[in-house]
Amino acid sequence: MFRSHTCGELRISDLNNTVTLAGWVQTIRKFGSISFVDLRDRYGITQLLFSESLNAALDANPLGREFVLQVKGKVNERSNKNANIPTGDIEIEVSEFTILNKSAVPPFTIQDDTDGGDDIRMKYRFLDLRRNTVKKNMELRYSVNRSARNYLHENNFMDIETPFLIKSTPEGARDFVVPSRMNAGQFYALPQSPQTFKQLLMVSGYDRYYQIVKCFRDEDLRADRQPEFTQIDCEMAFVEQEDILQMFEGLIKRIFKDVKGIDYTETVSRMTWEDAMWQYGNDKPDIRFNLQLCNLKKPTTVFSNKADQANLINGADFKVFDEAETVVAIALPGCCEYSRKQTDELTEWVKRPQIGMKGLVYIKCNTDGTFKSSVDKFYSEDRLKAIAEAAAAQPGDLVLILAGAEERTRKAISDLRMYMADKLGMRKPDDFKLLWVIDFPLFEYDEEGNRWVARHHPFTSPKPDHIEIMINNNPVIEDAANYLAHPYAGIKANAYDMVLNGNEIGGGSIRIFQRELQEKMFAALGMDAAEQQHKFGFLLGAFEYGAPPHGGLAFGFDRLCAIMGGSESIRDFIAFPKNNSGRDVMLDAPSTIDEKQFEELQIKLNLK
């Protein structure tokens, strides 16, 4: 061993002991004839004192930042203690030193606030990983990993490895494929998730399965998406939805406790997908703050059970509202004094193409009890007051109203809600609020193909009392413009998402476990019998031999870690991430391969 102690270990109780340390030179400070060096390793920083007697040796072997240094010396009490670090009471009076390895000057400083930009830090990721902030992220990730494993183990889950070289069954996202040399002309696929394998394990009787496992999706990368990502993947047999919610609520609470020291004792609230969309315009609402929507008008085809307040806006001859499918309001606390410039800026913000609204209506709820609005012409003060009250506005609040087509308007008001919550300091990074969103629609409409796709995945079971709707109706959509009127649009699934601070951190479902229903589901998605057999014959086959009721979920491990770490960038929590073009700039991968490799794989390029 090159050391007797780590750089984070020595205390005043070690005084006068002779020790050997090894680590990296963080800083060198010369004071006349003596030098102080901060020596760093994974565990901390220890101050070294090079006294005058070592000057000749130092002149012959000068130290530099990031040099790897081994020192032997005596533990002394520091005259100038540093209360900020655990080793701050002591220093090592160096008697011998060895430079184990030199270092070129790093291309950026190895500090929390580095001067290195994103590109250079990614290229030299091995140096970036030395920075304390990045190291803390990796430590947090490991501690989430450890905590999850402990909880799952204590609850009888078994880690069972599923294969990485599987069969390509593109459905939804694109597969990464791997040419097979031994089976020329054929390809493996990398798993988008171990979904079918964990279901097979339930059929095999393994009862409770988990894996913290890499998954792969060849999608066009948006910020914060990676072609390879990690899931905490779980499945249970003989359970109903309630059992799963309880079990994994427990998991996340355990992680909060182990990793953050937070006792999250309150029951995790639950919200149906419909309520989430109705009240927040979003299926993963951030409920750290309220800011609920006031639905002043609803489309005819969805939210049939909800009571809108269209009476408040009707009959005013205000065409924008009259012609809109959806009109929705939100009350911003304490914003009634917003200037014309500020409301104009908000209007411009909602008119940006990403949001796509035509404009914005506001009502200022003045503290003196009066109301002022951009639609004064159409609505009397009494009517404005009624709208403001419906939006739960208090004196001093500013009510914002958006109007337009249902999906776009609802997304817009949700985006506006988040934007304003950020502005108003309502999204506190150290405040954590969990939420289960349940009762998702089973299907989603695919405009391009004018067909149904599985909202979660094709293995999700419909609610038991919706099975009849699925069986007794033809999935074909005759009237594309009016797809929401199709009976399939109303079918709800036994599916659930766990939401943390406005981010989906996990999701899952109770699965179909009957061959006939699974076939019906595949057929509803447009797969004929031959395709079903080719892609999923093994699963349909397995369902014939005693498949138990089962369900599960998967957490997005990278995102979970990021949010636990108070960040929304998953890349900061991955040791060797890829950039937005799917490249590892450190390795310079992907790259070309040899002619010999092409020959052996019996493929060639066919570049456009």
Note whether 180 and 174 are within 8 A (CB). no
Cα torsion through 49, 51, 57, 59, rounded to 10: 90
Measured from the Cβ of residue 81, the count of other Cβ atoms closer than 10 Å reads 13
Residue 29 or 135 having the CB closest to a copy of itself: 135
Binding track, positions 441-480, relative to a copy of itself; x by CB under 8 A? ----------------------------------------
Is residue 38 a contact residue for a copy of itself (CB under 8 A)?
Answer: no
Measured from the Cβ of residue 480, the count of other Cβ atoms closer than 10 Å reads 11
Is residue 189 a contact residue for a copy of itself (CB under 8 A)?
Answer: yes
Residue 8 or 299 having the CB closest to a copy of itself: 8
Binding segment toward a copy of itself, per CB under 8 A, in 73-81, 89-97, 227-235, 290-298:
227-235
Give the CA distances from residue 269 to residues 28, 311, 509, in Å, rounded to whole numbers and listed in that order.
Answer: 54, 31, 18
Binding to a copy of itself (CB under 8 A): which residues in 113-172? 124-127, 129-130, 135, 138-139, 141-142, 145-146, 149, 153, 158-168, 170
**Nearest one of 84, 211, 289, 201 to 547, comparing CA atoms:** 201
Residue 132 or 304 having the CB closest to a copy of itself: 132
Binding track, positions 566-595, relative to a copy of itself; x by CB under 8 A? --------xxx-x--xxxx-xxxxxxxxx-
Q: Whole-number minimum distance, CB 174 to a copy of itself, in Å? A: 7
CA triple 541-544-547, angle to 5 deg = 105
Q: Whole-number minimum distance, CB 484 to a copy of itself, in Å? A: 29
Q: Which amino acid is it at 322?
A: D
Q: Whole-number minimum distance, CB 224 to a copy of itself, in Å? A: 16
> What letters, b where the CB count within 10 A reaches 16 and e where it falls short, cover 44-69?
bbbbbbbeeebeeebeeeebeebbbb
Is residue 186 a contact residue for a copy of itself (CB under 8 A)?
Answer: yes
Binding segment toward a copy of itself, per CB under 8 A, in 94-102, 302-310, 316-324, 329-337:
94-102
Question: What radius of gyration, in Å, describes the C-alpha atoms of the chain?
Answer: 30
Give the residue, chosen from 50, 151, 188, 256, that forms a contact with a copy of itself under the rule CB under 8 A.
Answer: 188
- The sign of the dihedral angle between the CA atoms of 105, 110, 113, 119 is positive
Residue 467 or 586 having the CB closest to a copy of itself: 586
> What letters, b where the CB count within 10 A reaches 16 and e where it falls short, cover 123-139?
bbbebbebbeebeebbe
Give the residue, chosen from 74, 214, 288, 427, that forms a contact with a copy of itself under the rule CB under 8 A.
Answer: 214
Is residue 538 a contact residue for a copy of itself (CB under 8 A)?
Answer: yes
Q: Where are the beta strands (DSSP E) in 217-324?
A: 228-237, 269-272, 294-297
**Nearest one of 278, 287, 272 to 409, comparing CA atoms:** 278
Is residue 239 a contact residue for a copy of itself (CB under 8 A)?
Answer: yes
Binding track, positions 315-344, relative to a copy of itself; x by CB under 8 A? ------------------------------
Give the residue, chosen from 43, 338, 419, 432, that forms a contact with a copy of itself under the rule CB under 8 A.
Answer: 43
- The sign of the dihedral angle between the CA atoms of 59, 65, 67, 68 is positive
Q: By rule CB under 8 A, what count of residues binds a copy of itself?
A: 127
Separation of alpha carbons 356 and 359, rounded Å: 9
Sequence-distant (≥ 6) Cβ neighbours of residue 421 within 8 angstroms? 286, 289, 291, 427
Beta bridge partners of 438: 272, 496
Is residue 537 a contact residue for a copy of itself (CB under 8 A)?
Answer: yes
Q: Is 90 helix (H, G, I), strand (E, B) or coil?
A: strand
Length reported for the chain: 608
Residue 408 or 463 having the CB closest to a copy of itself: 463
- 361: tokens are 């209506």
Is residue 3 a contact residue for a copy of itself (CB under 8 A)?
Answer: yes
Q: Whole-number minimum distance, CB 283 to a copy of itself, in Å? A: 27
Binding track, positions 496-515, relative to a copy of itself; x by CB under 8 A? -----------------xx-
Give the residue, chosen from 102, 352, 358, 428, that forms a contact with a copy of itself under the rule CB under 8 A.
Answer: 102
Measured from the Cβ of residue 467, the count of other Cβ atoms closer than 10 Å reads 16
Is residue 428 a contact residue for a copy of itself (CB under 8 A)?
Answer: no
Give the residue, chosen from 238, 319, 367, 471, that forms a contact with a copy of itself under the rule CB under 8 A.
Answer: 238
Give the residue, chosen from 5, 10, 19, 24, that forms a contact with a copy of itself under the rule CB under 8 A.
Answer: 24
Is residue 96 a contact residue for a copy of itself (CB under 8 A)?
Answer: no
Give the residue, chosen from 243, 337, 348, 376, that forms a contact with a copy of itself under the rule CB under 8 A.
Answer: 243
Is residue 529 a contact residue for a copy of itself (CB under 8 A)?
Answer: no
